[in-house]
Amino acid sequence: MQWPIFYGDELKLGNPESPVGVCTLWTKRDVIYKNLPEGKFAVCGNLYTVQGINPMLKNVLANPKIRYIVICGADLMKSGEALINFLKNGIGDDRKIIGSSGYIDSNVDTELVNKFRENVKIIDLRGREADVPAVLESIKEEAKPFMEPVWITELDKSSAPLKTEDVVFKVRGPSIPWVWLRALNNVMKFGEEKDTDYKIRQKEILDLVSVIDGDEPALPAWLPITERDLENYYETFFSKERPLGVEYTYGERLFNYQLSHVPDKFLEEFGEAQDQIGAVVRILKERPHTRRAVAFTLKEGDSGSKNPPCLTQIVWSIRAGKLVQTANFRSHDIFGAWLLNAFALRRLQRQIAERVGIGLGKLVILSNSAHVYENNWKEAEKILEKSFAGRVLPLVEDEHGYFIVKVEQGIFVEHYTKEGLPSGFVFHGKDAQILYRKILHEGLVSLMDHAAYLGHQLAKAEYCLKTGEKFVQDKA
């Protein structure tokens, strides 16, 4: 079999007889690689997220000559910290890394996990990247395998997805965790299994629209992230500084961005502003009706980059006196990144609303490619089984209003705004199916549960009309 098993195209291979692997975390691999002494390392690559520990683990188990892993570079997502915790603390009964938020795949036997932890040593050079060549030169021992190679060529798998060619999936809810569960459910149920540029399978749906109405008062314990994960992420997201060797950060692009490649019509509004967020606040204060409150994260050279920003732009608008923020992601890891992204975006939206002096409106996240990588399928299904499956969908207010149904020599349906005022839409007839199809045609229902409720009430009204029984509309 060919080694490495996973991410072969993304790794730089060196001396197959070397006992050392070099992990550059978020720092561009080539920044470290170009200084490595020839013949002193077996493989060099990035480790962007905690989820990447599983393919790394399986690559090492297939090449047990590797006895040292040097970690260096910017640890933006604390994947290096998680790897250290994995070697130091191991995993719990739930296979979660003790001290970090990642999980180890179920198809790696506990015995193999222990062999890896007992025989592989982490050399932590984060912040000491200049020392990496000398440390590699100092390792003199031969690459003696600590076990026979084990080829685990698959990551955890789950049941086959439902087949659909549909695009544009919408989820809406009162909080970020609530909406995330439904977004994850859509990808896991309807995602198409396909390859990626990273040589790992994914489930993908296209054009997922997530609408968050409110906030979560506290972070639920069942989420795969912690308050510490959030604080670590905020530190990078809201900092205009870009660590040396890192290709980009959202904070740098949003708060310290050269606008030379932005279309002229936007430059006329913002000037050569480096702080895009500050410019957005200014224009919203001056002209609340503007359609030009936009921040970009893409730059001209990103089209040829192997790691272009996933978040490409953010747009702010004022509707009904509240700030609405819409973030567009060209590529969105729903399991590994969506939650951190959403919480950071909501915090950014709140800060801008406070600076402008208006209320906080909805957060909209457009995920052009909404996907879950293969190594997260099993854990995603566990979370959905525990916190989503079998639940009764709570009825929430439909932004488009509600209906009053009456039976008076026929079925009368009146539509009201959510404020309780008649909208002027009145429907009359004797056939429930025709009535609800007319109502849906008018676009007066935005939520599926309200459509189902209305259909049930109209069927009940039709029955009462035919039998002479008294009709009383059920409470929602």
Quick one: CA dihedral 456, 458, 460, 463, positive or negative?
A: negative
Can you give the pLDDT at residue 259? 61
Classify residue 405 by its DSSP letter. Answer: E
Q: How far apart are CA 142 and CA 134, in angstroms?
A: 17
How confident is the model over 286-331, as pLDDT tens digits? 999 999 999 999 887 777 777 889 999 999 999 999 999 999 999 9
> Hey, is 182 helix, strand or coil?
helix
Greatest mean pLDDT among 5-9, 209-213, 304-308: 209-213
How confident is the model over 171-202, as pLDDT tens digits? 999 999 999 999 999 999 999 999 988 778 99
Class of domain 169-387: alpha beta
Q: How far apart are CA 457 and CA 476, in angstroms?
A: 10
Question: Using an 8 Å Cβ cutoff, are 101 and 225 in contact?
Answer: yes
pTM for this one? 0.73
In the annotation, is 23 catalytic? Answer: no
How confident is the model over 138-178, as pLDDT tens digits? 998 888 899 999 999 876 654 445 677 888 999 999 999 99
User: Candidates 3.40.50, 1.10.3470, 3.30.70, 2.60.120; correct CATH number of 8-138?
Assistant: 3.40.50
Q: How many residues does the chain have?
A: 476
Q: Which of 23, 44, 72, 310 is catalytic?
A: 310
* Sequence letter at residue 279: A
How confident is the model over 60-102, as pLDDT tens digits? 999 999 999 999 999 998 999 999 999 999 999 888 999 998 8
